[in-house]
Chain A
Amino acid sequence: MAISNDDALVRVENIEKTYTRGSGRDATEVHVLAGLNFTIKKGDFVALMGPSGSGKTTLLNIIAGIDRPSLGSIAVDGLETTNLSESQLARWRSENVGFIFQLYNLIPVLTAAENVELPLLLTKLGKAKRREHVETALKIVGLGDRMHHYPRQLSGGQEQRVAIARAIVTDPLLILADEPTGDLDKVAGVEVLTLLKRLNAEFGKTILMVTHDPHAAESAKRIVHLEKGVLVRDDEVNSVR
């Protein structure tokens, strides 16, 4: 079922993304996204599914402003992001987007607390305030007692929870998760999904999660299926069940 556009946080209109593969005579154009229209309302938890090469991660990256569409426009909270410069996009991301990666991507030479503090270095918060935010974020993900541990001293699940704390520490409008359970065992995966559901339910965070895993997708409120760059299904989770 399509979502009403009235309370849309993210509005994707006629997005096309084309890559050129090879060069010269061998150059071929690959259409990753083909005229996609898509919205995410505030407070929603959307799972983006589809086979490999369907354009899921590309769409996620375009919404995050780390990739640019060939055609079309993206608006997040009313701001047209496709026209922003690299540095404007970076600043916008630091204030509005929390990123969760499949491979956690923590900085190995920083402790859990320092990794979580990283996005706050881009704010004007003082040291004490930053510390307060870091403690709060780590407590939310249940790692208040692992603040001074380095990534190598944490399990995969704990690392991903630190990454989630890093994603929420700036209190962003939108959390984008790219296969957040893809590298975790089942138990750790469930913990992470539970945490994402909690962030959505308790803290009202809007989440867009790319996943291959249908069970993971069921944690979301809405599942969107992409195939060959085209949106083929858009369902509320209750209606799927």
Chain B
Amino acid sequence: MNAAGLIIANAVRNKRRTILTILSLGASVFLFATLESLLQYMTSHALDNGSARRIVVRRKTSLQDRLPQSYIQKVASVDGIECVTPMVWFGGIYKEETAKNMFGQLSCDPETWHSVIPEAEILDPATGKPAPQLYDDFRKDRQGALAGIHLFEKFGWKIGDQIVLQGKIYPCNLTLNLRAAYNAPRGGTDESTLYYHHKYIDESLGNPGLIGVVEARVKNSDDIPRLIDQIDGGFADSDFQTFTETEQAFSLGFVKMLGNLTMLVHSIATAVAFTMLMVAANTTASAARERAHEVAVMKAIGFAPTTVLRYLLFENVLVAFSGAGLGAAAAYFFSAQVRAAMQQSPMAFFFEQYQMAPAIAIGSTLVGAIVGLCAALIPCARVAWMPISTTLRRVA
């Protein structure tokens, strides 16, 4: 036997309690890791799917309010802008109105879209290999559609398939021919959006000449602050004032729109961590109390209070680490199930690529272990420094 053997023997001395403690800590860490992972995903998803060289010009009053089509050319003519494309969020129903069928549906100008989003690679979804020639098919077909590779995989689409999007926001349906797929192997844009011709929706709506946003690629990202001022300043006196921001900020804005939700998730994660602390502290306090006599005996034999404290803390950290590791591992391996569960929510399309980052699992394990250490510190120190003679006499 050595010190490690003594620590392990003591850590598992009450098997039922140890198992229950590990399970309760595991459940808490599972919840904590999952919540933190979802928050981290929401933020990083927004940042990963935005380019530092793109800006989004929208109506200042609200994202739901439209801009005149003439703004496309006005923004494009600003010195420092490389290319632009209009965009309209269609928000139509594919097949039936279920959360799993929701995905981004944006109009674009096919002549400029690939210049605005050059990181996208055009693919043949059947082979998964680059097929830039398919972009021409998309460009030439007024009802053509270009969809992210994830949508092809999710719905089993093939090039040439025709899909119908029933208008929900707009009083028209879009019948689209799938012409090309795209992916973004180096990030920069998401792979779950469907693009269609802006002219098609404009005509379908009777040519109102309105757009949702203007998405622009700038020549130099250093110019962005100046460009934002110039664009918004240029429209300051018009009836359609603009609000311009980077694409990353625009994407993050959607996460910020969930402000109360993120705060709620943070609050729940904090409450979970606190519960974890209480569970660990309660278990440790009662276990330490039960061990007071034994600790006194060890000290009488010659173990210094600091040595005893070290052993007790190692025991608790071992149990906490086991529970936290179990919970974090479960959360990591079950993140696919979490993703599946999210498919039933209105944010389903947003979570299609959700997978817990290993760093979150490792971090949560460490949080659990640290919580175990913190929870054990006071009760164990109290027992370790109890006067030997009093403790032996009281318990005897």
Are the CB atoms of B9 and A109 closer together than 8 Å? yes
Chain A hits for B3, CB < 8 A: 121
Are the CB atoms of A94 and B301 closer together than 8 Å? yes
| Whole-angstrom distance between the Cβ of A17 and the nearest chain B Cβ | 10
Chain B hits for A103, CB < 8 A: 396
Chain A window 95-107, contacts with chain B (Cβ cutoff 8 Å), 1 for yes, 0 for no = 1010101110101
Given A57-B393, A101-B392, A105-B293, are A117 and B304 also a contact pair (CB < 8 Å)? Answer: no
Q: Which residue of A lies closest to B14 (CB)?
A: A109
Tell whether A3 is near chain B: CB-to-CB under 8 Å: no
Tell whether A2 is near chain B: CB-to-CB under 8 Å: no
A107 to B297, CA, bound (A): 9
Are the CB atoms of A117 and B388 closer together than 8 Å? no
Tell whether B305 is near chain A: CB-to-CB under 8 Å: yes
Chain A hits for B300, CB < 8 A: 64, 66, 93, 99, 101
Tell whether B289 is near chain A: CB-to-CB under 8 Å: no
Chain A window 14-31, contacts with chain B (Cβ cutoff 8 Å), 1 for yes, 0 for no = 000000000000000000
A118 to B284, CA, bound (A): 23
**8 Å CB contact of B388 from A67, A92, A118:** A67
A61 to B393, CA, bound (A): 11
A61 to B387, CA, bound (A): 11
Are the CB atoms of A93 and B389 closer together than 8 Å? no
What count of chain B residues pass the 8 Å CB interface test? 28
**8 Å CB contact of B304 from A64, A90, A105, A107:** A90
Chain B hits for A114, CB < 8 A: 1, 5-6, 9
Chain B hits for A92, CB < 8 A: 302
Given A64-B300, A86-B304, A90-B302, are A110 and B9 also a contact pair (CB < 8 Å)? Answer: yes
Q: Which residue of B lies closest to A93 (CB)?
A: B302
Q: Which residue of A lies closest to B9 (CB)?
A: A109
**8 Å CB contact of A110 from B1, B293, B303, B389:** B1
Chain A hits for B396, CB < 8 A: 101-103
| Whole-angstrom distance between the Cβ of A103 and the nearest chain B Cβ | 6
Chain A hits for B6, CB < 8 A: 110, 114, 118, 121
Chain B hits for A189, CB < 8 A: none
Are the CB atoms of B298 and A118 closer together than 8 Å? yes
| Whole-angstrom distance between the Cβ of A133 and the nearest chain B Cβ | 13
Chain B window 285-322, contacts with chain A (Cβ cutoff 8 Å), 1 for yes, 0 for no = 00000000110011111111111000000000000000
What count of chain A residues pass the 8 Å CB interface test? 33
Chain A window 164-186, contacts with chain B (Cβ cutoff 8 Å), 1 for yes, 0 for no = 00100000000000000000000
Chain B hits for A101, CB < 8 A: 297, 300, 392, 396
Tell whether B10 is near chain A: CB-to-CB under 8 Å: yes
Tell whether A91 is near chain B: CB-to-CB under 8 Å: yes
Chain B window 1-42, contacts with chain A (Cβ cutoff 8 Å), 1 for yes, 0 for no = 111011001101100000000000000000000000000000
Chain B hits for A86, CB < 8 A: 304-305
Tell me the dominant secondary structure on chain B's binding face. Answer: helix
Are the CB atoms of B388 and A119 closer together than 8 Å? no
Chain B hits for A117, CB < 8 A: 1
Q: Which residue of A lies closest to B5 (CB)?
A: A114
Tell whether A122 is near chain B: CB-to-CB under 8 Å: yes
Q: Which residue of B lies closest to A110 (CB)?
A: B9
| Whole-angstrom distance between the Cβ of B296 and the nearest chain A Cβ | 8
Tell whether A87 is near chain B: CB-to-CB under 8 Å: yes
A75 to B107, CA, bound (A): 94
| Whole-angstrom distance between the Cβ of B139 and the nearest chain A Cβ | 75
| Whole-angstrom distance between the Cβ of B61 and the nearest chain A Cβ | 71
Chain B hits for A152, CB < 8 A: none
**8 Å CB contact of A119 from B10, B301, B307, B389:** B301
What 20 additional pairs, Cβ within 8 angstroms, besides A66-B300, A86-B305, A113-B1? A61-B389, A67-B388, A87-B304, A87-B306, A90-B299, A94-B302, A94-B303, A99-B297, A101-B300, A101-B392, A107-B10, A107-B297, A109-B9, A110-B6, A114-B9, A117-B1, A119-B301, A121-B2, A121-B6, A127-B2
A residues touching B (Cβ–Cβ < 8 Å)?
Answer: 57-58, 61, 64, 66-67, 86-87, 90-95, 97, 99, 101-103, 105, 107-110, 113-114, 117-119, 121-122, 127, 166
15 A–B contact pairs at CB < 8 A? A66-B299, A90-B304, A90-B305, A90-B307, A93-B301, A94-B302, A105-B294, A107-B294, A108-B13, A110-B1, A110-B6, A110-B9, A114-B9, A118-B301, A121-B6
